[in-house]
Structure 1
Amino acid sequence: MTQKLAPLALTIGLVLVAGLASPDAIAQKKKKSAAKPKAPPAPTVCSDFFSVATADWMKANPQPATGSVTAMGQLTERSLQQQRELLDAAMQGPQGNVQKLLGDFWASGLDEAAVERDGANPVAPLLARIDGIRKAKDIAPSIAALHQVGIPVAFNFGADIDLRDLSRHIGYFSQGGLGMPDPEFYTRGDADTKAVMQRYEEYVQRILVLAGTPADRAAADAKLVVDLETRIAQSSKPIVSLRDIASNFAPVETKDIGKTYKRLQLADFLKAQGVTDDVVSIANPQLFAQLDALAGSLPPAQWQAYLRFHVGNAMAPYLSKSWRDTEFEFRGRVLRGQATPPERWRAVLDAINTAAGPMVGHEYAARFVPAGTKQRAEEIATNVRGALVRAVDRSPWMGATAKTEAKAKLEKLKIEIGTPRRDLDYTVQPMGRGSFGGNMLIASTWRHREEMKRIGRGNADRRWDVLPQQPTLAYDIAQNRLIVTAAMLQAPVLDMSADTATQYGAFGALVGRELTHAVDYKGRLVDAKDTIRDWWTPAENDAWNALGQRMVTQFSQFEDPALKGVKVSGTQTRDTNLADLAGVELAWDAWRSNNAAADATAQKPFFQGWANLWATSSSMQAATERAATSVHSPGKWRVNGPLMNLPAFAEANTCKADSAMVSKDPIRVWP
């Protein structure tokens, strides 16, 4: 048996042992101690919930050398693999006509030997038509014909909302017709821009040769193409100005358009597109006056070179290898900074989604969204909308009139899940396995025709501006509807294997953040009758801005988790931070209203569901770019920020008042 030492004896013993240690040993100990600074304490739920909640995910997804890995990015990747699985099945054993058409389309793209044999055959009829241009009056019909097959030249024309009547679409004539992504490439004079433009001219020359232009004439024709595009660019608006839809809405009556732009023959252009509406928008008449003049003043041969290039440029990704390589060397390497082309299946899938996306979308929803999943999503979304109605009622910053308008909007708000409620015909015919480029033109022609059918009264709610197979959850302000695509109805957004608390914390919170836009600083611009007007008072505007400023102050104190010494830009991320907080508040209220008796154990999965959405692992370069440009906070603060402001989080996790996860000045969007 060991004899216990009395406390005094133990103390003396420790002093004696210390005394026996040599000065060198003591110095060495100090050295070791200095060399090993004390490690920071391990994160806890109450100090850094994000790190605890995403620990397993972070282990499975270590920091990449380049780019970022995110939970939501993984969802997008999964949806691509699901689409591949769908199309493989349609190719090997189609069930029904639509799958047969899609399977043939898919097979034609994957058969690279057939694509190689096909060469430039798909574009031969288009090039032959361009060769037939002899006079100035032949130019406009050729422009219209290319628009019909989905190759917009000289300008863009598409369907969009009539800002005077949100129930309909009108046709928008807008700037376009350039081979470079921004008009400023043609007008800036710095050395870097000139170098890129030289590379572009070389690219134009190579495409022209592939399109049949004699090699000894291609260099001169490439200069003609760039010259024509430069003239278009000089009359184009800066890209940033195009973001303001109101300033780009300029309705004019179609009965006068043919007289105003005689050489462009815009009245005949509309007939060729199947458009019979009485109004279109032309926001930049100076550009169209310039185009009208160019159609009469430039030699037809210059227009021929321009049109030949744009046919080749648009179709190059879908033709034989020489075309694809030429396109990738400039657009892939120079403009997009890509080292290697995408895998063949990815390129083909992207092409099919571009040309026949709604067709894929309907099959995707049928295959991957069970009826029970859609029903659960509708149930949660409806409950969250109910929570928002209650939140509006008790809002301290909304006045009585605004509350009435907000509740009227929410009463009328539509919830569309999986696929659009209304849609235009989505079956592209005919297609086969013989020619991928030919199939692309057939599908592109169909797509353009169906888009033109959106123009007119009562058509504005047809089709979404996103495809069902693309993960998206968004509020459509013009149609006062919540859109949830089929691809969004899976983990980590709506995990049907998880409990309802997790589902509300993830899917419900995303619904809440988007529905808030129906009545916040964005939704205030459209009333319950779908009229564009501001229904907030100055006092409500001031109250919202005050909330925003508090959010700016709070988030500006947070250090970027990937960049030492860099703080989050509270100003840059203000609006998304407010929306995140609003979403969590509403989802929590919606869940608790149906689970009032749930204890802390049952509550905790709600917060885990929110954290599951924003797991992120970034390279230094990606983190730097995100900090400089993104309107979203880093994943850590998208999780911790809203939860710090939610009293329920601290209560469920028994966090003390001085814990890092408890805000000293909590912000509430919907108290």
Structure 2
Amino acid sequence: MNLRPLGCALVVSLIAGLASPADAQKKRSSKPKAAAAPSACSDFYASANADWLRSHTPGSTGSVSALEELGARARQQQRDLLEAASKSPQNNVQKLLGDFWASGLDEAAVERDGAQPIAPLISRIDAIKNAKDVSPAIAALHQVGIPVLFNFGADIDLGDLNRHIGYFAQGGLGLPDPAYYTRNDADTQALMGRYRNYVEKILALTGTPQGQLSSDAQSVIDLETRIARASKSLLDLRNPRANYAPVETASLAKRYKRLQLGDFLKAQGVSDDRVSMANPELFAQLDGLVGSLKPAQWKAYLRWRVGDAMAPYLAKPFRDAEFEFRGRVLRGLASPPTRQQAVLDAITLAAGPMVGHEYAARYLPASTDKRAEDIAAQLRAALGEALDRDTRLSASAKTEAKAKLDKLKIEVGTPNRDLDYTVQPMGRGSFGSNMLIASTWRHREEMKRIGRGNADRRWDVLPQDPALAYDIAQNRLIVTAAMLQPPVFDTGKDAAWLYGSYGALVGHELSHGFDNRGRHVDAKQELRDWWTPAEASAWDVLGKRVAAQYGGYDDPELSGRKINAAQTNEESIADIAGVDLAWSAFRKAEPAAAKPAQQSFYKGWASLWPQKLTPEAAQQRAATSVHAPGKWRTNGPLRNEPGFGEAYACKAGSAMQLAADQQVRLFP
């Protein structure tokens, strides 16, 4: 807490004997002098961020931070981009996005459209006559971005990190947890009752006759229950290794004849020689259901899945029904998003990479892109020098680490490989139809990721979303266009500030390639542990020292509580590494930097982390976040930095400068 000094001193008599009893009483009852304002050497976080902390409150969301403000700014930039594209598009992609945006904001047109956008899909479903018609209908819905019965998507091949393969995975349920369908407690049964009511509402809106609603809803829940009973628990799905089981693609057509999975893959445009199927028993059961269930049950289920998936993008009765159950009941939301936010969310889901392409062109100057790449390259070089002097690494581990670093790629702004933006024209007449057109495009581009040489086809984050991350599978640093603005990359500040903010974040992420996680992928991008027991032991010692330090820090938002140092330990180590590496890169780039520039470096780091939280939000963060609170993301690394003590003349053993023998140095 910041306390202001008293505005004026108490007036007292120079001669104590002349003071009246009343004056003496006033002196005794006066307030004590306020504590001094935080200084760089007592609490750098509070000192450097004093203005921000004074001017911000958590508000209705429960939290506010400098990086949350960056996210909000990026979202507003996207809205501005789409609005401009709707009025004056400069190219074909902008024309598509502008029409998409305008059609979504035209609520009157959305209401007039009713259920028309899904009418062709419903007609396809209604045409099912026998078991042979079911699988082609399933494949067709996947093609337009509506996964039914199961999920199929592209992801990294754990047996060959240079490619993606297709993953057949469980799905096809209207509820988020398979356990809902099999539990018998009162709360679950009450939820299932509300779910059944929601299914009936959607079926009615898609054209199911009133007298058929109850039986069709029961048919839907019966089929979903069969799927759920053959599905793995959510806990079992957390282990990627346990859900990776490559099989030859050619074997699928023979093994699952009714599902026609060979034809399914052709419909998705996939011709790879293998896929992953970790739960073949589930797919064997699904294969059996295609042949055993009556076409009417399949039609009810598929009609429901289409209506549910498209409900947020259709007329108000669809949206109200969907929000009442999914928003209010499942997610606990009090009100739906604004129309603008709902349309932005829809466009992000269906055409996010298109927005990212135009966002970078509009908001990322070439000079900023180049400067960001240069600093990142300098951080990579600083890490190489740090690895040379790292006493924790044996000769063999050091050789592997340097080989891995040499191959580390840096991608800034947008992915290096662009997409094919050939898309069916959208127009402004139907938001729901545009959603299906865009979803079909995105699904097509996703399927292109499958196959050899495609592992780096795109990122798992969008350029318009602020992100700076190390991609462990591809051994690359990813910096999105949206991340390159204040407070991360403030071109209005000096170079020192940029090294302290952006540079330190780059160092943080690069260190993950060589820490307790990065040890499991080698220079050849093969999954193996390239540490010896000696490196593992040295890491444990380091981790215990950092945990001991951070475990003594008070949570700034929760009185009487320490931060959970075990939960935040790996990220805290990376923070220490990031600041250290950025300082080394800065000092090499500007060896003659004077004290003001040195101080600016550390102010840049502190500018990333100011935050204000309500007690409720702080409790939730403390229970789940792998990052320390903002105060300790700032102060924790700096207490271990000799450079900080020198820049601000902080004495060893002071609050902001640990004694030399207590400092944790990753790269001495």
> Normalised by the shorter chain, which TM-score bucket?
over 0.9
Give the match's secondary structure for 2:64: strand
Alpha-carbon distance in structure 1 between the residues aligned to 2:199 and 2:224: 12
**Are the aligned partners of 2:49 and 2:606 in contact in 1 as well (CA < 8 Å)?**
yes
**Which residue matches 2:7?**
none
1:670 aligned onto 2:667: yes
Q: Encode CA deviations 1:238-274: one digit per residue, 9 max, x unaligned.
A: 2233232222110000111122222211111111111
Deviations 1:71-101 (A, max 9, x none): 1111111111111111111111111222112
Letter aligned with residue 550 of structure 1 = R
**Letter of the aligned partner of 2:328 in structure 1?**
R
Shift of residue 185, structure 1, vs aligned partner: 2.4
Does residue 368 (structure 1) correspond to residue 363 (structure 2)? The answer is yes
Which of 451, 456, 461 lines up with 1:456 in the alignment?
Answer: 451
Aligned-partner Cα distance in 1 for 2:499–2:181: 50
Q: How far off is 1:38 after superposition?
A: 6.2
Letter in 1 for 2:93: V
Find out whether 1:563 has 2:584 as its counterpart: no
Pick from 217, 224, 246: which aligns with 1:229?
A: 224
| Structure 1 residue 186, shift from structure 2 partner | 2.3
Q: Deviations over 1:156-177 (max 9, x none)?
A: 1011111222221111101111
Of 624-633 and 424-433, the range deviating more from structure 2:
424-433
Superposed displacement of residue 429, structure 1: 2.6
- Determine which of 584, 588, 608 is the counterpart of 2:583: 588
Partner of 2:17: 16
Q: Does structure 2 conserve the Cα–Cα contact (< 8 Å) formed by 1:359 and 1:427?
A: no
Q: Report whether the alignment pairs 1:468 with 2:469.
A: no
The 3-state SS of whatever aligns with 1:573 is helix
Moved more, 54-63 or 409-418: 54-63
Supply the distance in 2 between the matched residues of 1:73 and 1:177 (Cα, whole angstroms).
Answer: 34
CA distance in 2, matches of 1:207, 1:568: 46
1:342 Cα shift?
A: 1.0
List per-residue Cα deviations over 1:336-356 (Å, max 9, x = no partner).
Answer: 222111111111111111111
TM-score (norm. length: structure 1): 0.95
**1:575 maps onto 2:570 in alignment:** yes
Shift of 1:422: 1.0
Q: Tell whether the 8 Å contact from 1:64 to 1:617 is kept in structure 2 after alignment.
A: no
| SS of aligned partner of 1:310 | helix
* Distance (Å, rounded) in 2 between the aligned partners of 1:646 and 1:68: 29
Mapped to 2, the partners of 1:656 and 1:189 lie a distance apart of 64
Q: Deviations over 1:389-431 (max 9, x none)?
A: 0010000111111111111111111111111111331343321
Counterpart of 1:667 in structure 2: which amino acid? V
Q: CA RMSD in A?
A: 1.8
Cα displacement (A) at 1:29: 6.0
Per-residue CA deviations over 1:548-606 (Å, capped at 9, x if unaligned) read: 12121111111111111111000111111111111111111110111111122210111
Which of 529, 538, 546 aligns to 2:541? It is 546
Deviation at 1:454, TM superposition (A): 1.2
* Equivalent pair of 2:351/2:439 in contact (CA under 8 Å): yes
Distance (Å, rounded) in 2 between the aligned partners of 1:528 and 1:451: 27
**CA distance in structure 2 between the partners assigned to 1:109 and 1:668 by the alignment:** 54
Deviates more, 1:64-73 or 1:44-53: 64-73
Aligned to 1:346: 341
- Specify the alignment match of 1:6 in structure 2: none
Q: Does 1:178 align with 2:173?
A: yes
Distance (Å, rounded) in 2 between the aligned partners of 1:13 and 1:531: 81
Find the counterpart in structure 2 of residue 4 from structure 1: none
For residue 3 of structure 1, what is the aligned residue in structure 2? none
CA contact (8 A) 1:68 1:618 kept: yes
> CA–CA distance in 2 between the matches of 1:607 and 1:27?
47
Deviations 1:177-199 (A, max 9, x none): 11112222223333333322222
Which deviations, in whole Å up to 9, do the C-alpha atoms of 1:111-162 show, x marking residues without a partner?
1111111110010111111112222222211111110110001111011111
Structure 2 matches for 1:129-208, cutoff 5 A?
A: 129-208=124-203
Deviations 1:581-632 (A, max 9, x none): 1111111111011111112221011111111111101111111111111111
Structure 2 counterpart of 1:524: 519
After superposition, residues 437-516 of structure 1 pair within 5 angstroms as 437-516=432-511
Tell me if 1:630 matches 2:630: no
Q: Say whether the 8 Å CA contact 1:476–1:482 is kept in structure 2.
A: yes
Q: Is the 8 A contact 1:155 1:173 kept in 2?
A: yes
1:331 and 1:180 map into 2 onto residues whose CA distance is: 9
8 Å contact from structure 2 (residues 148, 302) kept in 1: yes
Q: Distance in 2 between matches of 1:83 and 1:525?
A: 37
CA separation of 1:190/1:638 partners in 2, compared to 1, >3 Å: closer, same or farther? farther
The amino acid that maps onto 1:405 is: E
Report the CA distance shift for 1:189/1:583 in structure 2 as closer, same or farther (over 3 A).
farther
> Aligned to 2:295, which of 283, 286, 300?
300
**Aligned partner of 2:606: which letter?**
A
Aligned equivalents of 2:357, 2:14: Cα separation in 1: 81
1:320-335 matches, cutoff 5 A? 320-335=315-330
Answer whether contact 1:66 1:621 (CA < 8 A) is retained: no
User: In the TM superposition, what is the alpha-carbon distance from 1:544 to its structure 2 partner?
Assistant: 1.0
Structure 2 residue aligned with 1:42? 37
Cα distance per residue 1:495-518 (max 9 Å; x no partner):
111101110111101111111111
2:408 counterpart (402, 406, 413): 413
- TM norm structure 2: 0.95
- In structure 2, relative to structure 1, the CA distance for the partners of 1:264 and 1:592 (3 Å cut) is same
- Residue matched to 1:52: 47
Is the 8 Å Cα contact of residues 359 and 428 (structure 1) preserved in structure 2?
no
Identity value in percent? 64
Contact 2:93 2:421 in 1 (8 A): no
Matched, 1:397 2:397: no
Contact 1:358/1:426, CA 8 A, preserved across alignment: no
Q: Identify if the C-alpha distance between structure 1 residues 301 and 646 changes in structure 2 by more than 3 Å, giving closer, same or farther.
A: same
Change (3 A) 1:13 1:520: closer
Q: Is the 8 A contact 1:65 1:619 kept in 2?
A: no
- For the 8 Å contact 1:66–1:618, the answer to whether it is kept is no
Q: 1:217 to 1:398 in 2, by over 3 A?
A: same
Q: Secondary structure at the match of 2:567?
A: coil
Q: Distance in 2 between matches of 1:584 and 1:13?
A: 53
Paired letter, 1:85: D
The one-letter code sitting in structure 2 at the alignment partner of 1:217 is Q
Query: Could you say which residue in structure 1 is the equivalent of 2:634?
Result: 639
CA distance in 1, matches of 2:461, 2:421: 14
Specify the SS of the correspondent of 2:607: helix
Opposite residue 293 of structure 1, the aligned amino acid is: G
Matched length: 655
* 1:67-82 equivalences in 2 (<5 Å): 67-82=62-77
- Cα 1:29–1:224 change in 2 (3 A) is farther
